[in-house]
């Protein structure tokens, strides 16, 4: 499934991330001045020294993603998916290891990030697109398309706080969908909006991906993973448990979910009373 | 092409029929423009027989029917579905509880078809609905025969446990099974990688980004910087209808109070120019300094929603309020000129240097803001320390009096405060009669830069754990 002749877009080498359990470090008695002194003395604050009360959210994770690959990231809650995505989006630093990325990465960790209720829809489009690194002229070039896609034309000059949450989502995703990334990281964002709009989003992502974008898709929806991804990486307890073609990995994953229920892990429950076997679409 | 169908009632299946979503949901643009139905409730529920007259799209196509058989009481409930196109059965299958999608090629050369759905068994929706239903039609429309997206698998639906699809009778048009193994994705050849991906590489390491890289990034993100400044200004002046009035009211009121008490007391403040423009100009710059430093110090905390989701050079965060607050300063200069005209104090040509003269003040505010925001990641107390310091500073700095008042011996110590030189310089370019404090101002610039450098250094060190901490 890999495309070895294609350039590597994401290269992850031995990435680990350690977190402290509970509140980190605790407050020291020395109080304010000592933190100033420590900041001046130490080369850096962090990465934190290895303490007993810590855990590894990611533990020596390595993989390559090539140009045009569509990779799904699966695993139980707390397996390290979000941490990995946050490291790749450069929101948090790894504790050790190295990752290299090519091109522009757009990570939709949460649709609507940076939306400001006091600004109008129009201003928020500009704001949101520039957060993702677009220049004003780049935004101008796709502004109409974004508005068209969102379907909120008539409310463009209304402050976003007066939008319904659905409208906010639509506008936010519309911006996100037009950012022209080289690497697109999606984290369960396709579950926004009504049926109609979800459909539009899926089509848009399909289109982006068919144009050669590299996709990293984090989802609990096996069905969505099947349709989007040709390869899946299965994270378990911060480590890569399996990495291979989607069908194989998902079959294995499904197996483990059925046979191996963790009493303490929050398993994603099948929605409502719908039996898992009945969820076809 | 796989339209996403999410049931709004998913969590409430037993209750059933609360959906209000349109039942005709276009899988692609080729949705039937008009639809006549019978046997279909407005919320999509159908009983044992229903029919749909579809007007065909321009292109040859495949009819897509999305159906959901509800789980009401019996999880093992099954029903036979047969689909008729123009009276002819094209497919029949056993349906379990759940959702599925059928794709039925429609014969070409017609403008309209009647599609009929016949279910063998029905269930009763729970009270108070009590309707007798077989299924809910979730989706009805056309899609192009070749998927618009070439890489899309043809059999794209993976049930959690594959349901054996009934082989379609040989005589009928091929029924595209709604279940089965996910076909390996067949993809159209990718366009060649664009050049730009080779020219930009981001390296993620457990150490701070090298300073030169960070500077380059800050330049790349200048559009974001502008947008953030614009956001601050917009919010400041739009949230309150009297935005610009508020901006000037604080220094104006303070100036009025100080002016009034000085007048009453006749205190000697050693000011050579009329007192009101003197004190107002001082308060104006001090207000800017105080707001800029306070906002810069809390900027990281305020923008945490953004910082924890998206990467951009973190140094921009405290920089934004120091720049956006300049707008308030600018507005405050208007009343200053009015006061100056009133009291007949005239600026000289040196007023052209005003933007340069206030530089130490901007740099100092930013430096303090960086320092405090880095420290408050460790310890929130530091924001309080700053607020306290700024309150005291108003009286220590030559805001409401002239440094002439300070005895000769300790005036050098007095001018150690970087704001002292900045304030004197500010007034010297405003009021022609005051000499420019060359030494004090230069010292102010140098010491501000030192504080700024320290602030950047400390801030960059905390950056590594910034998001972990917040």
The domain spans of chain B are 10-148, 215-469
Q: Which of A255-264, B72-81, B93-102, B194-203 has the lowest mean pLDDT?
A: A255-264
Mean pLDDT computed over A68-86: 89
Q: What DSSP assignment string belongs to B232-284?
A: HHHHHHHSSTTHHHHHHHHHHHHHHHHHHHHHHHT-----SS-HHHHHHHHHH
Q: Say yes or no to pLDDT of B432 above 60.
A: yes
CB contact under 8 A, B4 and A195: yes
The sign of the CA dihedral B185, B189, B194, B200 is positive
| B344: region left, alpha or beta (phi > 0 left; psi from -120 to 50 alpha) | left
How are beta strands A214-218 and A8-20 bridged, if at all? unpaired
pLDDT tier at B29, thresholds 50, 70, 90: very low
**Interface touch A100/B152, C-beta < 8 Å:** no
Q: Which of A22-26, A104-108, A177-181, B152-156 has the lowest mean pLDDT?
A: B152-156
If you measure CA to CA, which chain A residue comes closest to B162? A277
**pLDDT band at residue B283 using 50, 70 and 90 as cut-offs:** very high
Predicted pLDDT at A76: 87
**Residue of chain B whose Cα is closest to the Cα of A99:** B204
Q: What radius of gyration, in Å, describes the C-alpha atoms of chain A?
A: 21
Q: Chain A: give the shortest CA distance to residue B197, in Å.
A: 4
> Burial letters for A214-239: b for 16+ Cβ neighbours within 10 Å, e otherwise?
bbbbbbebbbbbbbbbbbbbbbbbbb
Handedness of CA A174, A176, A180, A184 (dihedral sign): negative
- Answer whether B467's CB lies under 8 Å from B308's CB: yes
- Residues of chain A with Cβ-Cβ distance to B193 below 8 Å are 6-7, 67-68, 212
Kindly state the average pLDDT of the residues B310-322. Answer: 91
Please indicate whether, in this complex, the C-beta atoms of B379 and A101 are within 8 angstroms of each other: no
pLDDT in tens, B118-166: 888 888 887 777 888 888 887 777 665 543 333 333 333 333 333 333 3
For residue B179, list chain A residues with Cβ-Cβ distance below 8 A.
Answer: 280
Residue B105 near residue B66 (C-beta atoms within 8 A): no
Closest by alpha carbon to A274, among B195, B122, B70, B289? B70
Residue contact A98–B204, C-beta within 8 A: yes
Fold of B10-148: Jelly Rolls (2.60.120)
* Helical packing angle, B243-265 and B316-343, nearest 10°: 50
Report CB contact under 8 Å: A45, B227. no
Contacts of B127 (CB under 8 A, 6+ apart): none
A101 with B204: Cβ contact below 8 A: yes
- B297 has a pLDDT exceeding 90: yes
Measured at the CA of A42, the angle between CA A36 and CA A47, to 5 degrees, comes to 110
Mark yes or no for CB contact B200/A102 under 8 Å: yes
Average pLDDT for chain A: 77
A245, with CB counted inside 10 A (0-12, 13-18, 19+), is: middle
From the list B25, B100, B221, which residue is nearest A196 (CB)?
B25
Which residues of chain B make contact with A196, given a CB cutoff of 8 A? 21-22, 25-26
B338: confidence class by pLDDT, cuts 50, 70, 90? very high
Query: Shortest CA distance to B221 belongs to which of A114, A135, A112, A126?
Result: A135
Chain B residues within 8 A of A103 when measuring between CB atoms? 194, 196-197, 200
B177 alpha-carbon distance from chain centroid: 42
Test A195 with B21 for CB contact under 8 angstroms.
yes
Alpha helices in A151-245 (DSSP H): 165-177, 195-210, 222-228
Question: Which tens digit of pLDDT belongs to each residue from B343-370?
Answer: 888 888 888 999 999 999 999 999 999 9
Supply the pLDDT for residue B239. Answer: 59
Tell me if the bond preceding B440 is cis, omega within 30° of 0: no
Among the partner-chain residues B12, B224, B464, the one whose CB lies closest to the CB of A272 is B12
In b/e form, how buried is each residue of B414-446, taking b as 16+ CB within 10 angstroms?
bbebbbbbbbbbbbbbbbeebebbeebbebbbe
Q: How many cross-chain Cβ pairs, A to B, lie less than 8 Å apart?
A: 281
Contact A9/A67 with Cβ under 8 angstroms? Answer: yes
3-state secondary structure of A168: helix
Tokens matching residue B290 = 């105080």
Residues from chain B that touch A32, judged by Cβ atoms under 8 A, are 375, 379, 381-382, 385
Residues B246-279 have pLDDT tens digits of 778 888 999 999 889 888 888 777 787 888 899 9
What are the tokens at B47? 């009983």
* Per-residue buried b or exposed e for B117-152, using 16+ beta carbons within 10 Å of the residue's own CB: bbbeeebebbeeeebebbbbbbbbbbbbeebebebb
- Alpha-carbon distance B316 to nearest alpha carbon in chain A (angstroms): 12
Which residue from A minimizes the CA distance to B1? A203
First-to-last alpha carbon distance for chain B, in angstroms, is 42
What the block records as the tokens of A153 is 């034309």
Asked whether B166 and A260 are in contact (CB, 8 A), the reply is no
d(CA A108, CA B160): 27
Q: What residues in A contact B228, CB-CB < 8 Å?
A: 127
Higher pLDDT among residues B326 and A168, named by residue:
B326
Contact A226/A249 with Cβ under 8 angstroms? no
For residue A96, give how far its alpha carbon lies from the nearest alpha carbon of chain B (Å): 5
How many of the other CB atoms lie within 10 Å of CB of A38? 14
| Cβ contact A131–B66 (<8 Å) | no
Contact of A152 with A121, CB cutoff 8 Å: yes
Count CB-CB contacts under 10 A for residue A43: 7
Cβ of A39 and B379 within 8 Å? no
Whole-number Å distance between alpha carbons of B261 and B254: 11
Question: Which residue in the set A43, A113, A210 is minimally distant from B151, CB to CB?
Answer: A210
A190/B4 CB distance under 8 A: yes
CB contact under 8 A, B193 and A195: no
Per-residue pLDDT at B11 exceeds 90: no
Contact B361, B419 (CB under 8 A): yes
Dist CA B426 CA B229 (whole Å): 24
At B248, list the tokens. 């000037």
Mutate which: B93, B202, B456, vs A, most A CBs within 10 A: B202
**Taking a C-beta distance cutoff of 8 angstroms, is the pair B98, A280 a contact?**
yes
The minimal CB distance from A32 to the residues B12, B311, B382 is found for: B382
Residues A266 and A251: beta-carbon distance below 8 Å: no
What is the CB neighbour count within 10 angstroms for residue B106? 20
Residue B97 pLDDT > 50: yes
Whether B25 shows a pLDDT value over 60: the answer reads no
How far is Cα A125 from Cα A141, in angstroms, rounded to an integer? 12
Residues in chain A with CB shorter than 8 Å from the CB of B194 are 103, 182, 212
| pLDDT tier at B169, thresholds 50, 70, 90 | very low
Tens digits of residue pLDDT in A39-71: 666 544 444 444 557 788 898 899 999 988 889
- Residue B461 has a CB neighbour count (10 Å cut-off) of 19
C-beta atoms of A254 and B160 within 8 A:
yes
Determine the pLDDT at residue B49. 83
**CB of A65 closer than 8 Å to CB of A99:** no
Query: Which residues in chain A are contacts of B138 at CB distance < 8 A?
Result: 281
For the residues of A88-152, what is the DSSP string, one character each?
HTTSS--SEEEEEEES-EEEESSTTTT--TTSBHHHHHHHHHHHTT--HHHHHHHHHHHHHHHT-
The pLDDT value given to residue A152 = 84
Q: Which of A99, A113, A195 sits opposite B306 (nearest CB)?
A: A113
Please tell me the distance from the alpha carbon of residue B72 to that of residue B55, in angstroms, as a whole number: 34
Using CB atoms, pick whichever of A35, A67, A100 lies closest to residue B201: A100
Contact between B28 and B4 under an 8 Å Cβ cutoff? The reply is: no
SS3 call for B63: strand
Q: How far is A264 from chain B (nearest CA, A)?
A: 23
Q: What is the pLDDT of residue B179?
A: 35
Is the separation of the CB atoms in B140 and B35 below 8 Å?
A: yes
Q: Could you give the CA distance from residue A271 to residue A106 in angstroms, rounded to a whole number?
A: 29
- What confidence score (pLDDT) does residue B61 get? 66
Residue of A nearest to B4 (CA): A199
Q: Where are the beta strands (DSSP E) in B57-215?
A: 62-69, 78-85, 88-96, 98-105, 112-119, 123-124, 132-133, 135-143, 201-204
Q: How far apart are CA B257 and CA B276, in angstroms?
A: 10
Taking CB atoms and an 8 Å limit, are A67 and B203 in contact across chains? no
Chain B residue nearest residue A190, CA to CA: B4
- Report residue B88 as tokens: 């002819």
Find the helix or strand (DSSP H, E) in which A84 lies: helix A81-88
Write out chain B residues lying below 8 Å of A9, CB-based: 197
* Prediction pTM value: 0.67
Q: Is the pLDDT reported for residue A82 higher than 50?
A: yes
User: For A94, which of B148, B206, B467 is closest by C-beta distance?
Assistant: B206
Residues B374-418 pLDDT 10s = 888 877 788 999 999 999 999 989 988 888 888 888 888 888 899
Alpha-carbon dihedral B417, B420, B421, B425, rounded to 10 degrees: 160
Nearest to B309 among A68, A91, A273 (CB): A91
The answer to whether residue A251 scores a pLDDT higher than 50 is: yes
Contact A271 B66 (CB under 8 A): no
């Amino acid at each position: 499934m890999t495309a070895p002749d294609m350039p590597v877009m994401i290269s992850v080498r031995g990435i680990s991330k350690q977190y402290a359990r509970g509140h980190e470090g605790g407050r020291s008695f020395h109080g304010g001045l000592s933190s100033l002194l420590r900041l001046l003395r130490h080369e850096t604050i962090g990465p934190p020294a290895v303490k007993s009360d810590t855990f590894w959210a990611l533990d020596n994770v390595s993989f390559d993603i090539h140009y045009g690959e569509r990779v799904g990231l699966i695993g139980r809650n707390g397996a390290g998916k979000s941490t990995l995505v946050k490291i790749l989006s450069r929101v948090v630093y790894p504790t050790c290891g190295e990752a290299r990325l090519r091109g522009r990465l757009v990570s939709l960790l949460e649709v609507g990030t940076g939306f400001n209720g006091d600004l109008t829809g129009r201003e928020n489009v500009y704001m949101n697109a520039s957060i993702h690194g677009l220049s004003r002229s780049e935004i101008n070039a796709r502004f109409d398309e974004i508005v068209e896609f969102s379907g909120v034309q008539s409310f463009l000059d209304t402050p976003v706080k007066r939008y319904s949450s659905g409208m906010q989502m639509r506008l936010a995703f519309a911006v996100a969908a037009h950012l022209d990334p080289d690497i697109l990281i999606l984290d369960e964002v396709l579950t926004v909006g009504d049926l109609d709009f979800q459909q539009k989003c899926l089509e848009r992502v399909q289109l982006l991906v068919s144009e050669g974008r590299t996709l990293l898709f984090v989802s609990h929806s096996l069905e969505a993973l099947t349709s989007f991804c040709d390869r899946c990486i299965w994270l378990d307890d911060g480590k890569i448990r399996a990495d291979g073609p989607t069908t194989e990995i998902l079959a294995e994953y499904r197996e483990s979910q059925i046979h191996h229920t963790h009493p303490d892990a929050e398993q994603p429950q099948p929605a409502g009373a719908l039996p898992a076997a009945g969820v076809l679409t | 092409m796989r339209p996403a169908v999410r049931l709004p009632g998913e969590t409430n299946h037993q209750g059933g029929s609360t959906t209000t979503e349109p039942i005709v949901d276009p899988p692609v643009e080729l949705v039937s423009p008009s639809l006549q139905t019978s046997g279909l409730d407005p919320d999509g529920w159908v009983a044992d027989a229903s029919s749909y007259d579809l007007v065909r799209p321009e292109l040859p196509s495949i009819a897509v029917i999305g159906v959901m058989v509800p789980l009401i009481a019996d999880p093992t409930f099954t029903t036979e579905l047969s689909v008729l196109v123009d009276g002819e059965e094209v497919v029949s299958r056993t349906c379990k509880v759940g959702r599925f999608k059928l794709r039925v090629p429609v014969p070409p050369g017609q403008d309209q078809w009647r599609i009929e759905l016949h279910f063998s068994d029905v269930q009763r929706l729970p009270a108070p609905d009590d309707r007798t239903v077989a299924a809910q039609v979730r989706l009805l429309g056309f899609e192009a025969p070749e998927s618009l997206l070439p890489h899309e698998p043809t059999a794209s639906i993976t049930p959690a446990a594959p349901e054996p699809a009934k082989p379609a009778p040989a005589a009928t048009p091929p029924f595209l099974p709604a279940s089965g193994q996910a076909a390996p994705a067949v993809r159209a050849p990718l366009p060649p990688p664009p050049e730009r991906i080779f020219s930009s590489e981001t390296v993620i390491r457990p150490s701070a980004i090298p300073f030169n890289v960070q500077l380059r990034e800050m330049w790349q993100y200048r559009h974001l910087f502008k947008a953030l400044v614009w956001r601050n200004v917009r919010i400041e002046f739009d949230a309150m209808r009297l935005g610009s009035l508020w901006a000037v009211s604080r220094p104006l009121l303070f100036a009025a109070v100080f002016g009034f008490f000085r007048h009453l007391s006749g205190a000697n403040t050693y000011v050579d120019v009329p007192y009101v423009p003197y004190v107002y100009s001082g308060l104006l710059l001090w207000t800017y300094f105080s707001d800029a430093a306070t906002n810069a110090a809390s900027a990281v905390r305020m923008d945490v929603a953004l910082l924890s989701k998206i990467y951009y050079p973190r140094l921009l965060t405290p920089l934004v309020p120091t720049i956006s607050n300049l707008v308030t300063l600018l507005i405050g200069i208007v009343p200053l000129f009015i006061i100056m005209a009133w009291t007949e104090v005239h600026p000289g040509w040196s007023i052209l240097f005003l933007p340069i003269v206030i530089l130490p003040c901007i740099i100092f505010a930013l430096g303090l803001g960086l320092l405090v925001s880095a420290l408050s990641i460790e310890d929130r107390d530091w924001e309080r320390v700053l607020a306290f310091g700024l309150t005291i500073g108003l009286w220590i700095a030559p805001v409401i009096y002239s440094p002439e008042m300070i005895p000769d011996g300790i005036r050098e110590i007095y001018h150690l405060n970087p704001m002292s030189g900045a304030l004197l310089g500010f007034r010297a370019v405003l009021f022609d009669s005051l000499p420019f404090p060359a030494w004090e101002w230069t010292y102010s610039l140098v010491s501000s830069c030192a504080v700024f450098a320290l602030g950047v250094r400390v801030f960059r060190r905390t950056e590594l754990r910034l998001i972990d901490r917040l």
